[in-house]
Structure 1
Amino acid sequence: MNGGTAVYSTLDVDVRAHPQRTVVTVAGDLDMDTCPHLSETLEALTLDGQALALDLRAVTFMDSSALHLLLALRNRARATGGTLELIGLPHQAQRLLDLTGTRRLFTLQPCPTL
């Protein structure tokens, strides 16, 4: 997938490919119902050592399915020589990473200012 928007029941995903990185903007709930749809979108991306940035500032909820997806995506990015950045991680999602001891595994970036 080179770019575009996919809309699922409680999840919106927008992919923008840039020369040095791909930005995936996610809005809605990331849970056991929606993660397979996001995973499908992400699997279609060619990483080839590039940075992948997930803009999660509009995510309203994350469960363990989302954590599993993020860990798998991190491993995939690293296997291709790339990186994974999580942008604007909401408080609930930060708490999930803290409770599971996985926060240190991710590069967290604040929301960009306009």
Structure 2
Amino acid sequence: MAFYESIIIIRQDVSSADVDKIVDDLKQVIKNYDGNVVKTEYWGLRTLAYEIQNNKKGHYYFMGIEANKPLLDELDRKTKLSESIIRTSLVRVDAISKDPSPILRAKSSDDENIVDVTSNRN
């Protein structure tokens, strides 16, 4: 089996609970085809570079998986059938890093640099 990194973009009007359900369904497909989910990350609701099917934003979800050809075919079929998934990307890699992705690192460093300068003077 080979390692793959997949990014899934889900419509902006889908709730967080539904995003989790979509990803859980994909994880179940991976398990059914003897694949392995090595890493998952939710990157949040992000603005798209260009409008896709009248969507200006999308929920980004990253998955690092170990998969074989039949599994990849089934994932492709499932994502094409889903009306909530507007775009996917699948790239073969040599290994999947256990470290947070650069997007999550940038997000967490932005959160750490926020300083509350409000004053409680009465």
Q: TM-score, normalised by structure 1?
A: 0.33
TM-score of the superposition, structure 2-length normalised? 0.31
Higher radius of gyration, 1 or 2: 2
- Tell me: higher relative CO, structure 1 or 2? Use CA pairs within 8 A at least 6 residues apart: 2
